[in-house]
Structure 1
Amino acid sequence: MSVGELEAFKRAAAVAAAEEVEDGMRVGLGTGSTVAHLLPAIAARGLTRLRCVATSVATAEQAAALGLAVEPFDTLDRLDLAIDGADQIAPDGWIVKGGGGAHVREKVVAAAADRFVVIADATKVVDALTAPVPLELLAFGLAATLVAVAPATVRPGMAPSPDGNVIADYTGPIDDPAALAAFLSSVPGLVDHGLFPPALTAEVVVAGPDGVRRRTV
């Protein structure tokens, strides 16, 4: 599959999801290459009463440049809708996110939304989740935290998270996503991980050679 085809599929999924945005909504905007197609699709609809929050500086800057009203998340306590991409989508609804290092903010925004919609091209649909699983770690006690979540490595050359924390990756097996998620969440020094449970997602919108498909989780 060519790069051009992949971008076309990302754009198709993004445009389909943008149709779910209604004027007056409070909308959470994710981060990543598929969301980069979502923002102009939302802006093109000409909705004037949206209140948006962004999960990264890059998203906030792109959204603002397109004329979308972006505000700090400390001004809203609930969102009507959040839309974001994914790195992997399993058949049972478990999702891996965080390739861009913003997974903690992405999870906070997803959890605050009445509906969380995931958009992706067909290559992100997998038979089973595999490593890596993105991690956000405190710099304090980093070496000890890495030992506790082993096998894990700091992502080389990666900038800090939007909140200034260290981005790393768990590189071990994912035989049981729920058990791994519970374990990672229990480790002091680990802010959060990129495993998103099925209960968090309302709908998955995937575009591929066969068109756009929607799946309720």
Structure 2
Amino acid sequence: MSVEHEKQLATEAAAELIEDGMTVGLGTGSTVAYLLPALARRALSLRCVATSPRTEEAALMLDLPVEPFGSIDRFDIAIDGADQVAPDGWLVKGGGAAHTREKIVAAASDRFVVIADSSKRVTALRPPVPLELLEFGLAATMRLLHSVSLRNAPRSPDGGAIADYQGAVDDLAGVAALLGAIPGAVEHGLFPPALVADVFVARGDSVEHHNHAKSRA
């Protein structure tokens, strides 16, 4: 079964959680690309915020309402993809260089829902971990981070340099704390289980739904 088929199945299952009148955070990436037409077909009355210009442009082309984040301070639900999904709900995100915005939206959501194809399910997270770094003092920040390399990629939607932490990630909470404490590191791509309410992973023609809502309580 193709990866694209799995992405579509996971997305359509998650999209059923969205109801008329909701505020919705729209993620970024190839899996989320299937979410937008699924929502457009249902013609719901929604208030949406996009986590990247690419998602916003695609949503507007489908006549989905997208407004600035400044006008909304919480979301009923946010749906996004992931690069890696561990069994306990830890995620690696940032392949599309929008993880800072994605994490802000996830934290502002009552229900953060992750959608993925079966290739994103892993037994344990592994490097690299995406980073967004301030341009100011970039060389000094990278020295403090040690095992990090700049990615040959466009800047983030907010102008940050995109890098990848290549060090060991055996202690996820410890690594997250370390990366979060470095001045000049805007945000890292480790998303803890406390942010995640639901994970939909498609495998072949079926979709596994893992509910982590208790971890958010």
TM-score (normalizing by structure 2): 0.96
1:105-184 matched pairs, under 5 angstroms: 105-156=101-152, 158-184=153-179
Q: Which residue of 2 aligns with 1:35?
A: 32
Q: Which residue of 2 aligns with 1:202?
A: 197
User: Equivalents in 2 of 1:116, 1:175: separation in Å?
Assistant: 25
CA offsets 1:99-133 (integer angstroms, 9 cap, x no match): 00000000000000000000000110001111110
Q: Which residue of 2 aligns with 1:10?
A: 7
Deviation at 1:57, TM superposition (A): 0.2
Q: Which residue of 2 aligns with 1:24?
A: 21
Contact 2:9 2:205 in 1 (8 A): no
Deviation at 1:92, TM superposition (A): 1.5
CA offsets 1:146-180 (integer angstroms, 9 cap, x no match): 11112001101x00000011000001111111100
CA offsets 1:57-110 (integer angstroms, 9 cap, x no match): 000000010110000000011110000000000112110000000000000000
RMSD after superposition: 0.8
User: Equivalents in 1 of 2:14, 2:85: separation in Å?
Assistant: 17
User: Equivalents in 1 of 2:79, 2:87: separation in Å?
Assistant: 19
TM-score (normalizing by structure 1): 0.96
Give the secondary structure class of the aligned counterpart of 2:146.
coil
Amino acid at match of 1:179: G
CA offsets 1:17-49 (integer angstroms, 9 cap, x no match): 1111111100000000000011111111111x2
Unpaired segments of 5 or more residues in structure 2? 213-217
Deviation at 1:210, TM superposition (A): 5.3
Q: Which residue of 2 aligns with 1:76?
A: 72
Q: Point out 4+ residue stretches in structure 1 off by more than 3 angstroms.
A: none
Amino acid at match of 2:193: P
User: Equivalents in 1 of 2:118, 2:145: separation in Å?
Assistant: 31
Q: Which residue of 1 aligns with 2:215?
A: none
Aligned residue pairs, count: 212
Contact 2:6 2:205 in 1 (8 A): no
Match of 1:56 among 46, 52, 57: 52
Give the secondary structure class of the aligned counterpart of 1:126.
coil
User: Equivalents in 2 of 1:193, 1:174: separation in Å?
Assistant: 13
